[in-house]
Amino acid sequence: MASAELDYTIEIPDQPCWSQENSPNHSGKEVGTRQPLVILLGWGGCTDKNLAKYSAIYHKRKLLELLFDYEIEKEPLLFHVFSNAGVMLYRYVLELLQTHRRFCRLRVVGTIFDSGPGDSNLLGALRALAAVLGHRPAVLRLLLLVAFTLVAVLFHVLLAPLTALFHTHFYDRLLDAASRWPELYLYSRADEVVLARDVERMVEARLAHRVLVRSVDFVSSAHVSHLRDYPTYYTSLCVNFMRSCVHC
């Protein structure tokens, strides 16, 4: 593996993470199921420090490329995906899970979407980029935003019709994704980056494919800020969903 190309952090608990039901019975056999391995796909501009509060919910965090190094192909896997940056990566993970012989052996039990997915939204993309560039000088930030806008408009006018012939937009791809494990959508109508109606349209499409879906509108929290504003509720939603996925 070319470690220079991928920045990652691994947290491995000292003891196997079993639920309370997994105590040995009288015959010495373990009863119950393992807690899943959780894979976090972060949002644009997020740091390891940003994701640490989310990994604390699950106690461990890894990236998909590292799974085989630790021989955990048979562990239940739960994806926790943030914003459109995480969703774009998740789209290709889904393709690997369906087409790559080794990845096909992974046992995914569910996916949590935080603040996504969103359809094409130039204004939302500009706001997301502005947040990523927040610590840079104002002049440089303005120039980069203008350059991004020009490139996005030119791409939409000139190249989008051509690329549509051989490349499907990640949002459209997820609408009809072949995955059938449960999905939890955590979003907010106050989100100015990913519109609530985009998430709700995705929920309706997944329900139409008979996927077990739950969605929660936090109403007032901003983009990828639901845990910050509602820590107890957010944590309970994630943990309860994780447990239901393992036992369903």
pLDDT in tens, 174-204: 999 999 999 999 999 999 889 999 999 999 9
Residue 216 to residue 155: CA distance in whole angstroms:
34
Q: Which of 35-44, 48-57, 102-111, 178-187 has the highest mean pLDDT?
A: 178-187
Q: 134 or 22: which carries more pLDDT confidence?
A: 134
Side-chain half-sphere exposure of 59, counting CA atoms within 13 A: 13
Q: Scan for tokens 């369906």, then name that residue.
A: 98
Q: Which of 37-51, 59-73, 190-204 has the weakest average pLDDT?
A: 59-73
pLDDT band at 26; cut points 50, 70, 90: very low
Q: Is the pLDDT of residue 62 over 70?
A: no
Residue 29 to residue 22: CA distance in whole angstroms:
9
Q: 27 or 152: which carries more pLDDT confidence?
A: 152
Between strands 183-187 and 107-114, the pairing is parallel
The candidate with the shortest Cα–Cα distance to 115, out of 13, 41, 165, is: 41
Q: 150 or 170: which carries more pLDDT confidence?
A: 170
Q: Mean pLDDT over all residues of the chain?
A: 75
Q: Which residues share a beta bridge with 183?
A: 111, 213
Residue 172 to residue 220: CA distance in whole angstroms:
27
Q: What is the pLDDT of residue 16?
A: 42
Q: What is the pLDDT of residue 6?
A: 43
Query: How does pLDDT run across 205-244, given as a tens digit for each residue?
Result: 999 999 999 999 999 999 999 999 999 999 999 999 999 9
Q: Is the pLDDT of residue 19 over 60?
A: no
Mean pLDDT confidence for 39-44: 75
Mean pLDDT confidence for 83-97: 88
Rg over CA atoms, the chain: 19
Q: Is the pLDDT of residue 155 over 90?
A: no
Inter-CA distances, 200 with 117, 148, 212, 223, Å: 10, 28, 14, 15
Q: Is the pLDDT of residue 97 over 60?
A: yes
Q: What is the pLDDT of residue 136?
A: 74
Q: In this prediction, what percent of the chain has a pLDDT beyond 70? A: 60
Residue 144 to residue 77: CA distance in whole angstroms:
38
Q: What is the pLDDT of residue 72?
A: 60
Q: What is the pLDDT of residue 104?
A: 80
Identify the three-state secondary structure at position 35: coil
Q: What is the pLDDT of residue 101?
A: 78
Mean pLDDT confidence for 39-67: 62
Q: What is the pLDDT of residue 179?
A: 95
Residues in the chain: 248
Residue 113 to residue 216: CA distance in whole angstroms:
10
